[in-house]
Amino acid sequence: QVQLVQSGAEVKKPGASVKVSCKASGYTFTSYGISWVRQAPGQGLEWMGWISAYNGNTNYAQKLQGRVTMTTDTSTSTAYMELRSLRSDDTAVYYCARDLSVTTRAFDIWGQGTMVTVSS
Amino acid sequence: DIQMTQSPSSLSASVGDRVTITCQASQDISNYLNWYQQKPGKAPKLLIYDASNLETGVPSRFSGSGSGTDFTFTISSLQPEDIATYYCQQYDNLPTFGGGTKVEIK
């Protein structure tokens, strides 16, 4: 079945970096874009950015520009999100999500989420 | 960034009630508006895309309407399993989400 499986929970100190993976299966990886969305504890959803699995083009949320990098490895159908210079307010569940289609940025398949805790 | 104002932030309704949630965009987004359901501890689930299209497998009691800046999401007959938080999301520009509406049973 179509699914996205993310890497496990992380605990990081302020100033460190984290890299979360998202492995796709059950569909042609390069035919869909992947977005990353995060959710701080008890808060709403925040879109972080998007990467084309076809050509690696990216769009990032302005507030994260310079701290976030999204990449893909087409040989393993895996997307990655790296966030640098972590702060306490980066503590959140991080989700990867697949675009519904090339023209519709609705997220139809989601990973299970990865909890990232930033604490000294 | 396009701001999405969702209301109410929470509501309480009885089983069988009609429930309506609204989402207002800070500028014209045509029909580039999606709706999600999120249950506690779970990833969001896509219900409606492009303002009014029901995602495959989603019950027909869920519906969406609107275009431009004003959008509505409706549950025609609230069921116990519909208890969740609902979010709108625009993608006319870089995607942004509304603040969410928590739906509870009265």
Contact B23, B31 (CB under 8 A): no
Chain B positions touching A44 (Cβ under 8 A) are: 87, 97-100
Nearest to A106 among B1, B49, B94 (CB): B49
Above 90 in pLDDT, residue A73? yes
- The series of mean pLDDT values per 10 residues for chain B, 106 residues long, is 97 98 98 98 98 98 98 98 98 95 96
Three-state DSSP class for residue A18: strand
CA B14 to chain A, closest CA, distance in angstroms equals 25
Chain A positions touching B46 (Cβ under 8 A) are: 100, 106-108
Contact B1, B96 (CB under 8 A): yes
* Mean pLDDT to the nearest integer, A46-74: 96
How far is A75 from A49, CA to CA, in rounded Å?
A: 22
Q: Do B44 and A110 touch (CB under 8 A)?
A: yes
Chain A positions touching B50 (Cβ under 8 A) are: 104, 106
The dihedral formed by the CA atoms of B49, B53, B57 and B63, expressed in degrees to the nearest 10: 100
Q: Do A61 and B94 touch (CB under 8 A)?
A: yes
Chain B positions touching A104 (Cβ under 8 A) are: 49-50, 91
Nearest CA in chain B to A113: B43
The dihedral formed by the CA atoms of A102, A105, A109 and A111, expressed in degrees to the nearest 10: 120
Split at pLDDT 50, 70, 90, the class of A102 is confident
How far is B87 from B81, CA to CA, in rounded Å?
A: 17
The string of pLDDT tens digits covering residues A30-44 is 999 999 999 999 999
The pLDDT of residue B53 is: 98
The pLDDT of residue A68 is: 98
Above 90 in pLDDT, residue A86? yes
Nearest CA in chain A to B92: A105
Q: Do A46 and B97 touch (CB under 8 A)?
A: yes
The pLDDT of residue A52 is: 96
Instruction: Say what percent of chain A tops pLDDT 70.
Output: 100
The pLDDT of residue A103 is: 86
Split at pLDDT 50, 70, 90, the class of A59 is very high
Nearest to B46 among A46, A107, A111 (CB): A107
* Mean pLDDT to the nearest integer, A61-84: 97
Closest CA to B93 of A50, A70, A66: A50
Above 90 in pLDDT, residue A101? no
- Please write down the HEC assignment for all residues of chain B: CCCEEEECCEEEECCCCCEEEEEEECCCCCCCEEEEEECCCCCCEEEEECCCEECCCCCCCEEEEEECCEEEEEECCCCHHHCEEEEEEECCCCCEECCCEEEEEC
Instruction: Say what percent of chain A tops pLDDT 90.
Output: 94
